[in-house]
């Protein structure tokens, strides 16, 4: 039977011939070249800026505020309000001046939301940080702040659970081939095994998983202390693609494959696969599916909706990361070029625009 999409065939059938493997290698080479070119352009722009060839933006000066039509200056923002800023007092002694000087430029010269600051400290991702803030777990200069969007500069004393937080400078990126029976979380109140136990020898830094895999779902999982990258890879607007191999309790009909591509409606709204096909035409109970939705247990729920029981679920790709040469339960540190590809969000692993009609290729 013909494959449903060209999108999935390059992954599902990569072992069927050298031509497919070569096409995949060429596409990967092209994507690397594009990322390198973008990186070179970014570095050149940075050099030109340092040489004064590109004028820097004028710093904001509160004294230059425009007056209102009535001739009066607008009122000052009040502190501890959503999206506003805490007035930063000038350094009063050498010690405070030195502390500010030691902070990274992004922290000392720019304001950032409190939840983003926590993510850069390696505590968790931005969304998890927002929940911690709303629960009153975080203080700024001794005051409890409940708004995730509350702005900080990095000079403040930010604490959680009585422990002062510091921005992370040593960023770590770990790819894990997750086995069954491990929880994708930093800790479990029921005492079950977590994925952090598998990577505890990888680094002394505090890392956390990017996204989640169910307890019985296996495959590619990224762990890091880079909160900004974690936000990019999990935010729905980026539509980062994920590819799964699904083993089902019975043969999957062509009609149901088409239904996955057309779309189905679950209890929390409509959803559809970006690509789907038989991983092996001789085993029609094993399906390859590409999807960008980050909804909870989405792949399992899609097949259960169609009347199938999922016997095995393995994530074979997340973003541009695969589990190649990483045995089940093992991990490896990402290479610098892999991290660069992730941060540039190149089109190699972003979901491609779907065709107008999900028809079988001729």
CA neighbours closer than 13 Å in the CB half-sphere of residue 11: 28
Using DSSP bridges, classify how beta strands 310-318 and 217-224 pair: parallel, antiparallel or unpaired.
parallel
Q: How far apart are CA 164 and CA 138, in angstroms?
A: 10
Q: How far apart are CA 278 and CA 9, in angstroms?
A: 9
Q: How far apart are CA 9 and CA 13, in angstroms?
A: 5
Which runs of E-coded beta strand occur in the chain? Answer: 112-113, 138-140, 143-144, 151-152, 158-160, 163-164, 173-178, 208-209, 217-224, 242-248, 264-266, 269-271, 275-278, 286-291, 310-318, 321-322, 331-333
Q: How far apart are CA 309 and CA 315, in angstroms?
A: 17
Choice among 188, 214, 258, 280 that is catalytic? 214
Judge whether 214 counts as a catalytic residue: yes
Report the chain's terminal Cα–Cα distance, integer Å: 12
CB 289 within 8 A of CB 9: no
SS3 track for 141-169: CCEECCCCCCEECCCCCEEECCEECCCCC
Task: Look up tokens 């541009």; give the residue.
Answer: 320
How far CA 36 is from CA of 32, 143, 335, in Å, comes to 6, 45, 14
CA neighbours closer than 13 Å in the CB half-sphere of residue 159: 10
CB 128 within 8 A of CB 185: no
How far CA 59 is from CA of 63, 64, 154, in Å, comes to 12, 11, 18
Q: What residues are labeled active site?
A: 214
């Amino acid at each position: 039977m013909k494959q449903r999409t060209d999108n999935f065939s390059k992954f599902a059938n990569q072992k069927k011939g050298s031509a497919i493997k070569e096409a995949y290698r060429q596409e990967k080479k092209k994507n690397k070249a594009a990322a390198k070119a973008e990186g070179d352009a970014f570095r050149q722009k940075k050099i030109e800026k340092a040489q004064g060839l590109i004028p820097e933006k004028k710093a904001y000066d509160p004294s230059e505020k425009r007056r209102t039509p009535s001739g009066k200056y607008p009122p000052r923002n009040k502190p501890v309000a959503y999206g506003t800023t805490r007035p930063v007092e000038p350094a009063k002694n050498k010690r405070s001046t030195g502390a500010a000087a030691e902070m990274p430029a992004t922290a000392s010269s720019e304001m950032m939301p409190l939840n983003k600051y926590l993510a850069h400290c390696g505590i968790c991702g931005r969304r998890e940080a927002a929940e911690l803030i709303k629960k009153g777990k975080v203080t700024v200069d001794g005051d409890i702040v409940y708004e995730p969007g509350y702005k900080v500069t990095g000079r403040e004393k930010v604490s959680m659970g009585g422990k002062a937080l510091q921005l992370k400078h040593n960023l770590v990126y770990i790819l894990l081939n997750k086995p069954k029976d491990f929880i994708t979380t930093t800790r479990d109140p029921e005492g079950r095994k977590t994925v952090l136990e598998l990577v505890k020898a990888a680094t002394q830094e505090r890392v956390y998983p990017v996204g989640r895999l169910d307890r019985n779902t296996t495959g590619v999982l990224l762990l890091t202390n880079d909160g900004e990258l974690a936000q990019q890879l999990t935010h729905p607007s980026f539509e980062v693609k994920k590819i799964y191999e699904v083993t089902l309790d019975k043969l999957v009909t062509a009609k149901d494959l088409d239904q996955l591509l057309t779309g189905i409606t679950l209890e929390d709204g409509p959803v559809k696969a970006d690509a789907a096909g038989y991983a092996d035409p001789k085993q029609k109970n094993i399906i390859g599916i590409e999807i960008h939705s980050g909804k909870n247990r989405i792949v399992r729920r899609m097949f259960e909706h169609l009347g199938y029981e999922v016997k095995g679920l393995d994530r074979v790709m997340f973003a541009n990361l695969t589990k190649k040469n990483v045995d089940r339960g093992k991990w490896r540190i990402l290479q610098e070029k892999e991290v660069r590809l992730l941060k540039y969000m190149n089109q190699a692993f972003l979901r491609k625009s779907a065709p107008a009609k999900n028809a079988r290729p001729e």
